[in-house]
Amino acid sequence: MTEKNIREIINKHLTKIAPEADLGELPENANIREELDIDSYDFLQFLIAINEEIGIEIPEADYGKLSTIEGIIRYLSARMG
């Protein structure tokens, strides 16, 4: 799976929880929750959806590493070995 594929999956699931967001304008290093005004429950649902689609377990201890699109892509890419 390429970084482009991961980005498409991220955008698909972000659109479900923040349909009004213009993801094309969201900087890759911006805090997703702050920029899109996503609460902790919706963010957790977002991470679960990514986990289910990609099949990579994301431990709760790693959630802090997943605050940006850039961070999510880096995290998932490293675990796809």
Output the domain CATH number for residue 55: 1.10.1200.10
Neighbours of 64 (CB within 10 A): 8
- CA 54/CA 56 separation, integer angstroms: 6
Total domain count, the chain: 1
**Rg for the chain (alpha carbons), in Å?**
12
Q: What digits encode the pLDDT tens for the residues 12-63?
A: 999 999 999 999 999 999 999 999 999 999 999 999 999 999 999 999 999 9
Q: What is the pTM of this model?
A: 0.90
Whether 11 contacts 50, CB under 8 Å: no
Domain span holding position 12: 3-79
